Structure 1
Amino acid sequence: MTDTTQTVPEGPEIIVIDDVSKRFVVRKDNSLKERLVAFGRGRQHREDFWALRDVSARITAGTTVGLIGHNGSGKSTLLKVIGGILEPTSGTVSHRGRIAALLELGAGFHPDLTGRENVYLNASILGLSRAETDERFDEIVAFSGIAAFIDTQVKFYSSGMYVRLAFAVAVHTDPDILLVDEILAVGDEAFQRKCLDKIRSFQEQGRTILLVTHSLSQVTELCDWVILLDKGNVIFEGEPNKGVALLRENLEERRLAEGGDQAGIMGRGKILGARVHRAGGDEHDPVVPGDDLVVELDVEHYDGLDNWMAAVQIDSTTGQAVYGTTTKRLGLHLDRLTSPRTIRFTIKDVRFGTGKYFVNLSLMDDAGRHIHDLPQVASFDVPYYEFAVGAVFAEPVADDLGEVALTGEQRS
C-alpha cells in the first residue's frame, strides 16, 4: 500500500501518471516444435504478466526522483512508459517539455554506424535538428572522452564507450526531463563522477530527473523523492531515507523466503533486540569524538548453531558504510548458540564527523551468510563541528607559508 502520509514536493507538475498498467504475454512453449504443436490451442500456452498495476504518481518540476525496488519490480518498465518507449496497457502518462532517456546500453545506436554518425542519429531521436547537433558536436565528443574512436563503428566499442557517448549526447540536448536507468553503473570511476557532476548541474538548473539505480547510496545522495515498487505496485512514495530503509527490509524478507532449505535451517536464528549508546551515557545522548560507542545485541537460535558470528556496520545518511566489524575479525570464539545471549561491541575512541549515523546489526554463520539482519536498528548524532565536514573527525590547522618561488614546471 502506498504511504499516504508523505507530501508531494510543491511546484508545478511536469509528469502525471494516472492508473498505468502494463501487461506482457509470456509464452510457455520454448522450442519451435512446441510452438507448432501448440498453434491454435488458444491461450493455454501463454501467460499474462503484469509488470505494472494501477500506478499513479505526480512528479514535480525540478525534483530528482528515484524509482527503486528489487529486480522485476517494474521500475524500468515504468521509466520506459514515461519515456514513450512502451505503450501502457491501460492508464495514461502526460508530461511537459523535452525528454532525454538513457534506458538501455547503446539504445538508439546502430552498430554498423560510426560514433560520429550515431551522434547525429541519436540526437535526432532526442529532438535536435542537424544544425543544433553541428553546433554541439564538439562539446559532445569532448564530454565523452572518446574522440580517438569517434569515426569507428560502435559495434567495436566497449560497454564503457557506449555509455560515454550515449550520456554525452543525452545531456547536450538540453532536456527538461532526464530519464536514467542504471547507466551510471557502467564506465570507470572518473566518468561516473563526471556524470554525477552533470546531474548535479541539471539539479541546480531546475531540471527534472528520474533515476533507476540499485545504488541506494546514490538514491539518498541525489534524490528529493522516491517511488518504491514491488511486483508492479507502488508500496511507498516519499522521503528517500524512509524508502531505502523499507526496500532493505523487503529485500531481507525476500532473501529469507527464497533461500530454500538453507534459509529454513539458518532462518531459525534471530536478533532479539539491540542497544546503542556512548559509554556511560543514555541511548539518545549525542556521541562526541573521543567517546567509546557501545553496541549490544541479543541473539538466539532455536535449533542450536555452531560456528557463527555477530556483525555491526555503521552507515552515514547517504547509505555509505563508514565502519564495520565482526566477532570473527576480532578473534572472539563463540560457543554453540542456543538460548538467548548478549554480544557487546565496544568501539573505542570514535572519531565520526558531524551528522547522523545508522547502526545495522547481523547474525551470520561462519561463512558470512546472513541469518538475521536488523538494518538501521538504531541511530546516533554527532554534534556540529564548524571547521570541517565529512565522516571523519580530525582537528585541522592551516598555515600561510607566504610567497614561494615556483619553477616553470610547477606553474604549468
Structure 2
Amino acid sequence: MTTPVSSADDDYAIEVRNVSKHFTLHADRRDSLKERFVRGRSKDTHVFRALNDVSFKVRRGTTFGLVGHNGSGKSTMLKILAGVYRPTRGEVMVASKVDALLEVGAGFHGELTGRENIYLNGAILGRSRKQIDESLDWIIDFADIGDFIDEPVKVYSSGMTVRLGFATAVAIKPEILIVDEIIAVGDEEFQRKCFDLMRQLRDRGTTIVLVTHSLSLATEMCDEVAWLDHGKVQMIGNADEVVSSYLTAVNEREARKRSAEQGEEEFPEDEPYKQNQGNGDCRMTGVDFLDENGAEVPFITYGKPLTLRVHVRAKKDLHDVELGLGFATDGGVTVAGPNSRAAGTLYTLRRGDSYIDYSIDQVVFQPGRLWLTTCFVRDGQIYDLSDRRTEMIIRADRMMDEPGLVTLAPGRWSRRPGHPEPEKDHENGI
C-alpha cells in the first residue's frame, strides 16, 4: 500500500521497501459465469512472481530510471508506485500525490470530443474543475491537434490520442511523475516536446520515475537507474554504470544464445581482449602503430604521419560494419572519436582474421599517454567494444611550444593591437 514518507526521510520522495508482487495464473481460464458453473473453477494454477523483494529510494527532485528486459517487472513496479496495484509484500511510501503516465489516453470516451475528454480525464486524475479550466488553453496548445479538439475521440489516430493524454496528464505541475514508455508512439516532433517538458519539470523540482528501453535516454535523463531482471534488483546506482552493466549482460546472454543455436566452434580468445564487451561475433585482437613507411613503431610521434592498424577476428561473415575509435586520457576524458560511418565507409568482415587501417597525416596529440577504444558495431548492435584497453604513448622530437592535450590548426593573430572607437562627447559636440 502507498503511504506518506515519514518526516525522518525528507530527502526522499519515494521509498520502496522489500516489495514483492505475485499473480496467480490459471492455465485453463473460466471467464464467464456459465463456464464456471458448467466446468467448475480452474484448478491448474501457478504463481507468477513479477517482483521479488525490491527496494530502492528516489531522492526529491531527481529522475530515477528502471531498465531491464520485457517481463522484468518494470511496469508492475510503476503500477504499484501509482497505486494501481497493491504489493503482495512490502511497502511503498511517497512524499506527495503521484501523477502517472502509464497508458496515455486510458479513460478517454470515444463518443466524447477531445475537449470533453480533457475534463473527464482530468477528473479521473483528481483535478478540480477550476484547475482544468485554468490549464485548458495550455493543454489544447501543447496537444496541437487543431480542430480535432472538438471532434469525437473515436476518430483520432493513436498519435493524436497520445498527444492529448500526455498534455492533460502534465498540465498541472506534478510533484511526483511516473512515466512508462508510452511516448514512443508519438511522432518525432512530439517526442521532442515531451522530453523537453520533462527536462523542464525535472529542473523545477519534479521527481520523475521513468521506465524506458532507450538506454541512451536513461543515461541522458536519469540521475540513478535500477536494473531489474525477472523481478529482482540486479544493480542500483549511477546511470552510466548501471546501463553499461546491463548492456554487458544483454550482450553476453545473446552471445551464449547464438552459440547454442548455431553450434559454431568458438575461436580461442586472445589476451587481453577476451574481456571485451559486445556479443562477440567479432573481436578486436590487437592494434599496431605504423609510421609513414608502414613500419611498426613502439610509440607515436607528435607531428608525424600515423596509421592505426586494428586487427579483428570474425566468427562469421559480417556486413555493413562500422568501426569507431576513441582517444581518451587517463581520467577518461575523450579527446577525439572518429568513426568510419561518419566518413562514409562500412566494412564487410569475412570469417577469420583481417585488419582495418585508420591513417592521419599528422599526429596532433601532445606528448603523454592516451587510451584507445575500438568498437565494431552495426545499426546499434555492438559486436565488440574494447574500452580503453590499448595504451598509446606519444613522444615528440622537439620541445613543445604550447600546452594542452592537442595542438590546434594554426590560427591567425592580428598584426597590431586594436583600439575601441572613442565615445563622442555629446555635450561639447565632439
TM over 0.5: yes
Q: CA deviation at 1:187?
A: 1.2
Percent identity reads 37
Q: Distance in 2 between matches of 1:293 and 1:209?
A: 47
Q: Distance in 2 between matches of 1:138 and 1:357?
A: 53
Residue 16 of structure 1 corresponds to 15
Matched, 1:294 2:304: no
The aligned amino acid for 1:149 is F
Residue pair 1:12, 1:60 contacting (<8 A) in 2 also: yes
For residue 265 of structure 1, give the secondary structure of its aligned residue in structure 2: coil
Q: CA deviation at 1:266?
A: 7.7
Q: CA deviation at 1:231?
A: 0.6
For residue 150 of structure 1, give the secondary structure of its aligned residue in structure 2: helix
Residue 185 of structure 1 corresponds to 184
Residue pair 1:224, 1:239 contacting (<8 A) in 2 also: yes
Q: Distance in 1 between matches of 2:304 and 2:161?
A: 48
Q: CA deviation at 1:297?
A: 4.3
Aligned partner (choices 354, 358, 383) of residue 346 of structure 1: 358
Q: Distance in 2 between matches of 1:246 and 1:108?
A: 38
The aligned amino acid for 2:238 is E
Residue pair 2:115, 2:149 contacting (<8 A) in 1 also: yes
Residue pair 1:105, 1:159 contacting (<8 A) in 2 also: no
Residue 395 of structure 2 corresponds to none
Flag the 1:22–1:283 CA change in 2: closer, same or farther, 3 A: farther
Flag the 1:108–1:342 CA change in 2: closer, same or farther, 3 A: same
Residue pair 1:69, 1:247 contacting (<8 A) in 2 also: yes
The aligned amino acid for 1:346 is Y
Q: CA deviation at 1:22?
A: 0.9
Residue 246 of structure 2 corresponds to 247
The aligned amino acid for 2:388 is A
Matched, 1:169 2:180: no
Report 1:139-288 matches (<5 A). Answer: 139-259=138-258, 262-265=261-264, 271=282, 273-274=284-285
Residue pair 1:249, 1:375 contacting (<8 A) in 2 also: no
The aligned amino acid for 1:312 is L
The aligned amino acid for 1:99 is V
Flag the 1:164–1:298 CA change in 2: closer, same or farther, 3 A: same
Residues 253-262 or 68-77, more deviating: 253-262
Residue 40 of structure 2 corresponds to 39
Residue 116 of structure 2 corresponds to 117
The aligned amino acid for 1:77 is T
Q: Distance in 1 between matches of 2:54 and 2:20?
A: 7
Residue 405 of structure 1 corresponds to none
Q: CA deviation at 1:323?
A: 3.8
Residue 48 of structure 1 corresponds to 47
Gap regions ≥5 residues in structure 1: 1-9, 388-392, 396-412
Superposed CA deviations along residues 211-242 of structure 1, whole A, max 9, x for unmatched, are: 11111111111111111111111101111111
Find the structure with the greater CA-based Rg: 2
Residue 136 of structure 1 corresponds to 135
Q: CA deviation at 1:332?
A: 6.1
Q: Distance in 2 between matches of 1:284 and 1:123?
A: 66
Q: CA deviation at 1:57?
A: 0.5
Q: Distance in 1 between matches of 2:24 and 2:311?
A: 48
Q: CA deviation at 1:60?
A: 0.3
For residue 103 of structure 2, give the secondary structure of its aligned residue in structure 1: coil
Residue 419 of structure 2 corresponds to none
Q: CA deviation at 1:127?
A: 2.2
Residue 376 of structure 2 corresponds to 361
For residue 136 of structure 2, give the secondary structure of its aligned residue in structure 1: helix
Residues 219-228 or 20-29, more deviating: 20-29
Q: Distance in 1 between matches of 2:196 and 2:298?
A: 38
Superposed CA deviations along residues 251-305 of structure 1, whole A, max 9, x for unmatched, are: 22332344486443386676555557987799999xx99996836244264xxx4
Q: Distance in 2 between matches of 1:324 and 1:41?
A: 59
Q: Distance in 2 between matches of 1:360 and 1:252?
A: 14
Residue pair 2:26, 2:42 contacting (<8 A) in 1 also: no
Residue pair 2:21, 2:87 contacting (<8 A) in 1 also: yes
For residue 219 of structure 1, give the secondary structure of its aligned residue in structure 2: helix
Q: Distance in 2 between matches of 1:218 and 1:369?
A: 14
Q: Distance in 2 between matches of 1:243 and 1:284?
A: 35
Q: Distance in 1 between matches of 2:59 and 2:233?
A: 17
Flag the 1:306–1:140 CA change in 2: closer, same or farther, 3 A: closer
Q: CA deviation at 1:124?
A: 1.7
Q: Distance in 2 between matches of 1:118 and 1:80?
A: 23
Q: Distance in 1 between matches of 2:223 and 2:80?
A: 22
Superposed CA deviations along residues 98-135 of structure 1, whole A, max 9, x for unmatched, are: 22111114223223322112211221222210111111
Residue 4 of structure 1 corresponds to none
Q: Distance in 2 between matches of 1:374 and 1:204?
A: 37
Q: Distance in 2 between matches of 1:180 and 1:151?
A: 27
Q: How many residues matched?
A: 358
Residue pair 1:360, 1:374 contacting (<8 A) in 2 also: yes
Residue 400 of structure 2 corresponds to none
Flag the 1:133–1:293 CA change in 2: closer, same or farther, 3 A: farther
What's the TM-score, normalizing by structure 2? Answer: 0.69
Flag the 1:101–1:306 CA change in 2: closer, same or farther, 3 A: closer
Residue 421 of structure 2 corresponds to none
For residue 168 of structure 2, give the secondary structure of its aligned residue in structure 1: helix
Residue pair 1:277, 1:295 contacting (<8 A) in 2 also: yes
Residue pair 1:361, 1:377 contacting (<8 A) in 2 also: no
Q: CA deviation at 1:324?
A: 4.8
Flag the 1:40–1:168 CA change in 2: closer, same or farther, 3 A: closer
The aligned amino acid for 2:187 is D
Superposed CA deviations along residues 52-98 of structure 1, whole A, max 9, x for unmatched, are: 11000010001011111111111111111111111111111110122
